[in-house]
Structure 1
Amino acid sequence: MALAANRRRVTLLLAGLVTVLLLAGAAVVVARTVVADRAAPTAEAPGPDPSPSGQPSPTPSTPPPGADITGPLNLLLVGIDTRVSVPGWEPHADAVLVLHVPAGLSRAYLFSLPRDLVVDIPAFEPAGYSGGRTKLTNAMSYGSRVPKRPGRPDPAQGYELLRRTVSDYTGLRIDAGAVLTFGGFDKLVDSLGGVDIHVDQRVVSRHRQPDGKHRKPGPGVGGYTGPQMVYEPGDRHLNGWQALDYARQRYLPGGDYTRQRHQQQLVRALVRKILDADLARQPERVEEVVGALGDMLVYVGGRRIVEFAYALGGLTPDALTLVVLPGAAVGRGNAYRGEELTRVGHRFLTELRAGRVDAYLAEHPKLTVPD
């Protein structure tokens, strides 16, 4: 019984984490843990019903936290690898996702920016960075440097420079966000009993063996040796390390753009899994989530987690549109410099800011990730 209760507690905490991670549909679940139902009390039950935690549900005279948030919202999710054992390691932004929720908060758009996108990174005094034009992933590492503490990067500080860079590039105000290590994704998926994903192409892992063990560094393909995990096309049930490994691979046809699509597939699978879970309504669990996962998560925002959870409570998985922005390599001759969005990709950002994104996506259906 104790083990089951502990597992349920972890599941509740991770449900809160998904809200922090801005995975839109999961906010529905957490919002329902913050309040009972928004419906008015019935004749058989006058007045507010007590919640499982013993606290009364919000009443009209007590606005729920986040009720004043009406949108639009722009939330930034960053996934980083952790290689603290490597001398000189700095966190790089391996996954950069933006959730845009228009005014009214009834629908949302999740899109990725290529890690190698060539952008202007502004000067950042806390890290002693003078600014420059380079890959987006570097904003996280450059911003995380602490001059008075060499060798001990600060991911929260790195997020701030990345946030400024993404805001400048997209023209969107970033309201809140989170940085999550790969270990955090792994733990999230396992706590939910795995996820169901439609593998859309054959994926051969550069990092993992079929038994889940890490491949050893060596002179082989990709700098690793040993047997490789293979994900064959079709409907698959993946555990934590498998889901993360599948979503990490970018040395595939389509490169980083394929990886972006697979990362978004994982987001959608997590959303559905959490909505199907039997989660209790315990708002205090949401408040505990940041401390519960320790160094695996850094949350950055001007409002509390439960406020965003309530504000996004009207979203459903069907209201979440996954978008992959097309791009192309840039450089001189054979010298690869990075990536840039195509005209179609750039126009998406323009139409998003102008509130015309639905019509634009209808004209360019290949931008959306199919269900």
Structure 2
Amino acid sequence: MAKSDKTRARRRAPLWARLCAILGCVLMVVSGGVLISSQVLVARYAGSVQTKDLFGDAAEGATKQPTSDIKGPLNILLVGIDPRTDQQAPLSDSIIVVHVPENGDEAYVFSIPRDLIVEIPPFEKTGFLGGSAKINAAMSYGSSVGDGKHDVAQGFALLAKTVSKLTGIKEFDAGAIINFGGFKKIVDAMGGVTMTVDQEVKSEHLQPNGKPRPRLARCANNQCAHPYYGPQKEYHKGTYHLEGWEALDYVRQRYGLPKSDYDRQRHQQQFIKAMAAQALSKDVVTNPIKLDKVLKAAGESLIFDGGGHSVVDWGLALKNIRSQNMTLIKLPGDSVFVGNDYRGERLEPGAEDFFASVVNDQVADFVLRNPNYINTSA
């Protein structure tokens, strides 16, 4: 890829990878003349991260033996969920794959639409027989552990199998579940986040004061065009410094947007970029109290499976992935309707060629030939 093409193609890293980069760097914060080693912050952050078997390897008797190094090519599966109790079936609101080529100093990130219609494979643990459904339901089908309870980590395992079936990626090297409620804590710990709103958006969920909008208890003939009513929080074009609740609300919206879930994916990527920029700003990095709060909030937002490696190991491995060598990918697709009935999303045939380039570690060549896959607006 030519230098000018690379400059246009590369974008900021997602917050998770950027925070790992922070932890992989040797940070020293000066506070009251005392030099505080980054090891203190790393220990606090790593200690707050939940580590679980997200891919079902332990249950299947597999023994992952960590090597001395984490080397590319690597594929990492990141899933964002709304806060849920163990009595609620989880749904994956955001599905992101990070591909790190063999060189290990760049990365490609692509989102899979949550409403994408896919084949979900059978899952013996829950008795799910497999079938066609929206991909965000895979976690739900895989999460039941009996007595009306659900395990989000077990649900992740079926989602990972589903993404593998879709993309051809045989197995993921690491995975993480990111709690969106935790993102709010991160933004609040940073003192808010500055974002550019690129289109007019009305909130489906919140009133202008941030309180939830009332919901209709019942709709005529079991149908309703909109389950909420009352005044709506509105976001207008421009650059604003948003509080945590505002930022999270903005990136959740898709109803009423011209491209629905594709617009929401773009807004989520914009949000992640804005969070990364804020997290690495002097206001945060040189403030030991604020930095500690941000890292701790980030740790509490994650459930992590590093394939036998700790989150710190991964932070060291990804330390060279910077904002200028991260490429955001947009997958081509459109909505599926039967009459006026929305059924979900589908990808265009060209997406299969992109997935093949990921499996064969040839993404750089693919985007050079297909620059329309580069998300220049995020």
TM-score, normalised via structure 2 length? 0.76
Distance 1:53 1:223 in 2: 49
Give distance in 2, aligned partners of 1:325 and 1:240.
Answer: 28
Aligned-residue Cα RMSD (Å) equals: 3.1
Residues of 2 paired with 1:180 and 1:143: CA distance? 18
Distance change (3 Å), C-alpha of 1:280 and 1:354: farther
Work out which of the residue numbers 306, 312, 326 in structure 2 matches 1:301.
Answer: 306
Task: Report the Cα offset of residue 166 of structure 1.
Answer: 0.8
User: Contact between 1:194 and 1:238, CA under 8 Å: does it hold in 2?
Assistant: yes
Does 1:250 find its partner at 2:254? yes
Instruction: Answer yes or no: is 1:186 the counterpart of 2:190.
Output: no
State the distance in 1 between where 2:271 and 2:366 align: 25
Q: Pick from 210, 213, 227: which aligns with 1:223? A: 227
Give 1:150 deviation, angstroms.
Answer: 2.7
Query: CA offset at residue 325 of structure 1?
Result: 1.0
Relative distance call for 1:299 and 1:232 in structure 2 (3 A) is same
Within 1, Cα distance between the matches of 2:74 and 2:184? Answer: 27
Distance 1:171 1:354 in 2: 10
By how many angstroms is 1:309 displaced? 0.3
In the alignment, which residue of structure 2 is the partner of 1:212? 210
Match of 1:23, SS?
helix
**Of the candidates 332, 344, 347, which is equivalent to residue 338 of structure 1?**
344
Task: For 1:183, give the aligned amino acid.
Answer: G
| Amino acid aligned to 2:267 | H
Residue of structure 1 equivalent to 2:242: 238
Kindly provide the amino acid, as one letter, of the partner of residue 176 in structure 2. Answer: A
| 1:24 Cα offset (Å) | 2.4
Q: What are the superposed Cα offsets for residues 102-155 of structure 1, whole Å, 9 maximum, x if unpaired?
A: 112111111100111111211111222121121101111011111xx3321100
Q: Which residue of 2 aligns with 1:120?
A: 119
Aligned position for 1:13: none
Superposition deviation, residue 160 in structure 1: 0.8
Matching residue of 1:164: 161
- Contact map agreement 2:71 2:102 (CA 8 A) in 1: yes
Identity of aligned residues (%): 43
Matched-pair contact (CA < 8 Å) for 2:174–2:306: yes
CA deviation map 1:335-357 (0-9, x unaligned): 54322111233322222333332
**Which consecutive unaligned segments of at least 5 residues does structure 2 have?**
1-12, 29-34, 41-65
Secondary structure of 1:224's partner?
coil
Matched residue of 1:126: which SS? coil
Aligned CA distance change for structure 1 residues 228 and 50 (closer, same or farther; 3 Å): closer
| Structure 2 counterpart of 1:111 | 110
Gap change, CA 1:159 and 1:279, over 3 Å in 2: farther
Aligned partner letter, 2:154: Q
The superposition leaves residues 270-300 of structure 1 with CA deviations (integer Å, 9 ceiling, x where unpaired) of 1111222316899xx89x959962xx53222
Matched, 1:30 2:35: no
Give the superposition deviation at 1:169. Answer: 1.2
Q: Distance in 2 between matches of 1:191 and 1:291?
A: 10
- 3-state DSSP class of the match of 2:22? helix
**Secondary structure of 1:125 counterpart:** coil
Whether the 8 Å CA contact 1:140–1:161 is kept in 2: the answer is yes
Query: What code does the residue aligned with 1:167 have?
Result: S
* Counterpart secondary structure, 2:111: strand
The one-letter amino acid of 1:240's match is G
Counterpart pick for 1:357 among 352, 358, 363 = 363
Quickly say closer, same or farther: Cα 1:151–1:22, change in 2 above 3 A: farther
CA distance, structure 1, for counterparts of residue 299 and residue 173 of structure 2? 23
Written as runs of structure 1 = structure 2, the 5 A alignment for 1:1-371 is 23-33=16-26, 51=37, 68-84=69-85, 89-146=88-145, 149-172=146-169, 173-218=171-216, 222-251=226-255, 252-276=257-281, 277-278=284-285, 293=300, 296-302=301-307, 303-330=309-336, 332-370=338-376
**CA offset digits 1:148-176 (Å, max 9, x no partner):** x3321100100111111112211223111
Q: SS in structure 1 opposite 2:25?
A: helix
Give the structure, 1 or 2, with the largest relative contact order (CA under 8 Å, sep 6 or more): 2
- CA deviation profile, 1:221-259 (whole Å, cap 9, x unmatched): 621122111111122221211111111111111010111
The SS at the match of 1:162 is helix
In terms of mean alpha carbon deviation, does 306-315 or 178-187 score higher?
Answer: 178-187
Tell me which amino acid in the other structure corresponds to 1:347: D
The one-character-per-residue Cα deviations of 1:282-330 (angstroms, maximum 9, x if unpaired) are 9xx89x959962xx53222322100100000011111111122121233
3-state DSSP class of the match of 2:125?
Answer: helix
State the alpha-carbon separation in 1 of the partners of residues 154 and 274 from structure 2. Answer: 30
CA shift, 1:83, in A, is: 4.9
**What's the secondary structure of 2:144's corresponding residue?**
coil
Aligned mates of 1:70, 1:265 — CA distance in 2:
28
The answer to whether the 8 Å contact 1:272/1:317 transfers is no
In the comparison of the two structures, how many residue pairs are matched? 321
Q: Which amino acid aligns with 2:73?
A: P
- SS, match of residue 226 in structure 2: helix
For 2:182 and 2:137, the matched residues in 1 are separated by 21
The secondary structure found in structure 1 opposite 2:17 is: coil
Equivalence for 2:9 = none
